[in-house]
Amino acid sequence: MLKNTPRSYGSVARILHWLTALLILTELPLGLIANRGGFDIDRKVQLFSLHKTLGVAIFAVALIRILWALSQPRPASLHPERRAETLLAETVHWVLYAALVMVPLTGWIQHAATEGFSQILWPLSQGLPFIPKSESLAAAMGLAHQTFAWMLVGSLILHIAGAIKHAAIDRDATLSRMVRGEHAGPGHHGHRAAPAAAALAIYAAGAGIAFAMIPPSEAPVQRLEAVASDWQVTEGSLGFTVRQMGTDVQGSFADWTAAIAFDEASGTGQVTVTIAMPSVTLGTVSEQAKGADFFDVAHHATATFTADIQPEGTAFIARGTLNLRGAEAPVQMPFTLTIEDGIATMQGSATLDRRDYAIGQSYADEATVGFPVEVQVNLTARR
Ligand code: HEM
Ligand code: HEM
């Protein structure tokens, strides 16, 4: 029998139930290991790719399962007279159904809202329509994903404990109804609103907890002190691009200062750029980028670039030294510059080699992290 009856689960419902059980019981530990296991980046990326891919697959199976369940009668509880027990069991079923949608959906939105690092190995599923790239959205969805995943763990413990109780203590047909499709139970079933309402309240509480955990705006950061400069930077960005696992990942520094002296007549000058290394963001691996193996911000809180500016062709070049992570190497950055009404606009880029600064030494080849790092600077300054 493919279909349910009021006294039995059909084979479609049973196959979907046990397939989901298998997938979920694999996915939960995978998420925990990927998120909390102390692995190096490439292993973490692989585990997360696997977790996300399986998660998207679970989402697809879950939607099919829910559509099927909606089209079917739900076999009634074997002991509807045990009111509290039945209410609890049905509430847990609703919470589980909700989790099958909300857990993968929040994970997927988190993934779509952030600059991808570990990819979904599933064609056409990296982004989601209407989901903007936003760090704060990603952080909120990450917290919701974790909270909902733990609610899933809690409800599954109750669910499995209930199944064991029915089999071992009540010795009734509840488990064999789901395993073998046995017919059992009073047969009639009515749709009851209380368990669904209880599940909704539990989910609302979970969402409330997740959103209460969102840190108030940005964590307070110690900004670099302003520097004295002939030219004051009014706006600008300091970004970089590095190739990771075959895709270009964009990073940037939020906090940096520039002391600029520039003589318009001769086109020469000096510049000193100071960068607050803890202000780095790099897709989903900002924390790893700050770690000992990469920028080691705990020991090297700032980087400095000191250079002389000279005209070069129709544009300019800054030739100097970058002191990064305690190592020094020469850097040349060609840039364009226009000055109008005392407002200077410059744009430049330079390519560094991470090996010059002993960054990512445990990645000796380019498979995980490329050697060249392109730095892009854009700024507007006022005299
Ligand atoms: C070892 C793991 C599991 C066992 C032993 C188990 C056992 C059972 C049993 C015996 C039922 C029938 C309950 C009844 O007839 O009233 C059931 C129903 C159900 N199970 Fe599981 N289950 C497991 C895992 C899961 C997982 C991982 C999920 C989803 C996340 C899940 C979701 C559900 C839902 C939603 C129902 C209600 C089906 C309906 O009537 O529409 N179960 N389970
Ligand atoms: C039913 C499917 C899923 C389950 C059961 C699940 C479960 C989990 C668990 C248990 C964790 C660790 C939570 C912790 O450490 O406290 C986790 C983390 C994570 N999962 Fe999932 N997940 C699922 C689907 C997905 C999907 C579809 C994606 C993305 C496409 C995803 C992305 C993530 C990410 C990025 C994290 C890290 C948490 C963070 O943002 O800080 N998950 N997941």
| Residue 217 pLDDT | 57
CB atoms within 10 A of CB 273: 24
Q: What are phi and psi of 50, to 5 degrees?
A: -65, -45
Distance 306 CA to ligand 1 centre (A): 65
- Mean pLDDT, residues 89-115 taken together: 93
User: What is the reported pLDDT for 247?
Assistant: 76
Half-sphere exposure at residue 321, Cβ-oriented, CA atoms within 13 angstroms: 6
Over the stretch 6-65, which tens digit does the pLDDT of each residue have?
999 999 999 999 999 999 999 999 999 999 988 877 788 889 999 999 999 999 999 999
Q: pLDDT tens digit string along 162-175? A: 999 999 999 999 99
Q: Which CATH class is domain 232-382?
A: mainly beta
- Residue bearing the CA closest to ligand 1, atom 17: 178
354-375: pLDDT as tens digits: 999 999 888 888 888 899 999 9
Q: What number is the average pLDDT over the span 329-342?
A: 92
Beta carbons within 10 angstroms of residue 180's beta carbon: 11
Q: What is the pLDDT of residue 186?
A: 84
- pLDDT mean over 192-196: 89
Pocket test for ligand 2, best of 109, 110, 122, 145 (most atoms within 8 A of CB): 145
Give the residue range(s) of CATH 1.20.950 domains in the chain.
11-212
DSSP state of 149: H
Residue 185 is predicted with a pLDDT of 86
Please enumerate in sequence order all residues whose Cβ is within 8 A of that of 218, keeping only pairs 6 or more positions apart, or say none: none
Binned at pLDDT 50, 70 and 90, residue 287 comes out as: confident
Report residue 67 as tokens: 């559509």
CATH number assigned to the domain covering 11-212: 1.20.950
Closest-approaching ligand to the CA atom of 283: 2
pLDDT tens, residue by residue, 307-319:
999 999 889 999 9
pLDDT of 289 reads: 86
Evaluate: CB of 24 within 6 angstroms of ligand 1: yes
For atom 37 of ligand 1, which residue has the closest CA? 93
Domain with CATH 2.40.128.110 in the chain: 232-382
- Mean residue pLDDT across the chain: 90
Report the pocket of ligand 2 as residue ranges, CB < 6 Å: 24, 27-28, 31-32, 35-36, 51-52, 55-56, 58, 103-104, 107-108, 110-111, 120, 142, 145-146, 149, 152
Task: Work out the pLDDT band at 222, boundaries 50, 70, 90.
Answer: low
